[in-house]
Amino acid sequence: MARKNYSEEFRRQAVDLYETTPGATVRGIAADLGVVRGTLRQWLAVYGTGKKTAADGSRARSPLTARTSPGEAPDRDESPQERITRLEAENAALRAEKSKLVTEREILQKAAKYFAGGDDLVSRFQFVADHQHAFEVKRLCQLVEVCRSSFYAWQDAGPARAARAARDAELAERIRDLHEDDNTIGAPRVTAELNDGTPTGERVNHKRVARVMREHGIRGYRRRRRVVTTVPEPADQKVPDLLKRDFTADEPNCRYVGDITYLPLADGSNLYLATVIDCYSRRLVGWSIANHMRTELIGDALTDAAATRGSLAGAIFHSDHGSQYTSRDFASLCYTLGVTQSMGAVGTSADNSLAESFNATAKREVLQDENVWPDEITCRRELFRWLTRYNTKRRHSWCGYRSPVDYENDNAAMLRPAA
């Protein structure tokens, strides 16, 4: 099939080929070039010199250097009929060029809204697809600078994209169902929930889950802020750091970390949460909530942990240098329970990052968009629900996206007193 658009250079070269080829005919040259004879005749009228290479090989001046651009008179005498023919050809060429420019402007005006949100390849393909019945595909592709072959490949893949979109929509509904139960979970824990008990060949990839959540506006909650509640007491005892930021354990009931965090209420007051967390499974084995930060707050949390485990004898408990943890009363309780104290450096949150990370997660996932709890009753109720679900339902990355309790049970670790 003949080309529909030709550059000026191509046209001049076509005319030059005709005029400089001995014995050439319009029919023969047009066939060689793949153009219709009428088109070649138009080019001859616009760019031609009116001269032709004779059979003896004598050459006329090439139209490639002739002063024969549209609007310029040829450097030879013209008959009235030749002038009329040339001017008609120039007029036709100008009308065609004007029509081309008008079409391009119309196409670009329509394309503007497709790129309002960003110029990506899919937007270009979609524009060509939506307007291919009104304009030539080749022209559309040229104007938005995409290859026709790429567009047709994208178009042919339409059914596959539609099928994938349907599967993604179905997956999004499953994810929303999980978020109705717990809207704090992100892509990793969602993936673990979806794959729990699912045959290997039917499991979903975490990258796909993240993409679907992003495309459908589903997201877990992220940390908003953090407030330090550690107030060291220089006069209290000094305790060494036995963990050295190694928050791991080979078995449960050997290493624990703890901290205090404040729980803001709407009336400007605070409640306070003290925690005891097992480094082996990240299980919250003891906790206490009160409207004060006295030593009995952390003492109640450690006593609760001893009741959960049966005994803490031989275990290490690591904390920051808050005055409650360095107090003599707490040291006495640890001695009674058989617990060895460990403390990080003053003013270094990284030395107790496991406990501080837990506190941040708890407040982030319970408070969400709110800055405070409306009252003490609501605060205690919502914290209680989250803290209990944390151990039995919430999937933890440390535990291979199992709950801390499931992690301990799956590893068949005997919950024995620390030796």
CATH assignment of the domain containing 274: 3.30.420.10
Dihedral class, residue 258 (left if φ above 0, else alpha if ψ from -120 to 50, else beta): beta
Most confident of 71-85, 113-127, 145-159: 145-159
The residue type at 35: V
Per-residue pLDDT, averaged over 60-81, amounts to 55
pLDDT band of 227, cuts 50, 70, 90 = very low
Percent of the chain with pLDDT over 90: 18
Q: How confident is residue 254, by pLDDT bands cut at 50, 70 and 90?
A: very high
Q: Is 198 contained in some domain?
A: yes
Is a pLDDT exceeding 90 seen at residue 341? yes
pLDDT of residue 213: 85
In a domain? residue 222: no
Residue 223 lies in a domain: no
Q: What sign results for the dihedral spanned by CA atoms 178, 181, 183, 184? A: negative
Alpha-carbon distance 169 to 157, whole Å?
18
Q: Are 382 and 366 in contact (CB under 8 A)?
A: yes
| pLDDT at position 33 | 77
- How would DSSP label each residue in 105-141? HHHHHHHGGGGTT---HHHHHHHHHHHTTTS-HHHHH
User: How confident is the model over 229-254, as a mean pLDDT?
Assistant: 75
Instruction: Tell which wins on pLDDT, 408 or 33.
Output: 408
Domain total for the chain? 3
pLDDT in tens, 285-297: 999 999 999 999 9
By the 8 A CB rule, do 343 and 325 touch? yes
Query: What gap in Å lies between CA 213 and CA 220, rounded to an integer?
Result: 9
Domain holding 78, by residue range, is 8-155
User: With bands split at pLDDT 50, 70 and 90, how would you rate the model's confidence at 229?
Assistant: low
303 compared with 131, residue with greater pLDDT? 303
Token digits for 22? 């001995």
> How does DSSP assign 197-265, residue by residue?
T--GGG---HHHHHHHHHHTT--------------B-TTS-----SSTT----SSSSSEEEEEEEEEEB
Can you say how many angstroms the Cα of residue 104 is from the centroid of all Cα atoms in its chain?
Answer: 35
Residue with tokens 């006069």: 235
How would you classify residue 35: left for phi > 0, otherwise alpha for psi between -120 and 50, otherwise beta? beta
> What pLDDT is attached to residue 57?
59
pLDDT (mean) for 175-198:
79
Over residues 358-368, mean pLDDT: 88
Mean pLDDT computed over 337-348: 85
In a domain, 2, yes or no: no
Q: Tell me, yes or no, whether 288 and 183 share the same domain.
A: no
Q: Band the pLDDT of 381: cuts 50, 70, 90.
A: confident
Identify the three-state secondary structure at position 192.
helix
Domain boundary among 167, 190, 215: 215
Secondary structure of residue 344 in the 3-state scheme = coil
Choose the final residue of a domain: 155, 180, 204.
155
Of 188-197, 277-286, 292-301, give the lowest mean pLDDT range. Answer: 188-197
The residue ranking higher by pLDDT, 389 or 375, is: 375
CA 387 to chain centre: 31
Residue 62: pLDDT band with limits 50, 70, 90: very low
Report pLDDT for 284. 93
Tokens matching residue 406: 């499931």
In a domain, 1, yes or no: no
Q: Are residues 207 and 129 in the same domain?
A: no
Helix or strand run (H / E) with residue 145: none
Q: Cβ-count burial of 144 within 10 angstroms (0-12 exposed, 13-18 middle, 19+ buried)?
A: buried
Q: Is residue 229 part of a domain?
A: no
Same domain? For 307 and 372 the reply is: yes
Q: pLDDT of 99-150, one tens digit each?
A: 666 666 766 666 666 665 554 767 778 888 887 877 788 878 887 778 888 8
Q: Which residue has the higher pLDDT, 246 or 228?
A: 246
The alpha-carbon radius of gyration of the chain (Å, integer) is 40
**Is 60 exceeded by the pLDDT of residue 4?**
no
Residue 119 CA to residue 111 CA, distance in Å, equals 10
- Residue 419 confidence (pLDDT) above 50: no
Query: Which of 59-73, 86-100, 127-141, 333-347 comes out lowest in average pLDDT?
Result: 59-73
Backbone angles phi, psi at 285, to 5 degrees: -95, -15
Using the predicted structure, report yes or no on whether residue 379 has a pLDDT greater than 80: yes
The 340-343 sheet, strands edge to edge:
284-290, 270-278, 255-264, 316-319, 340-343
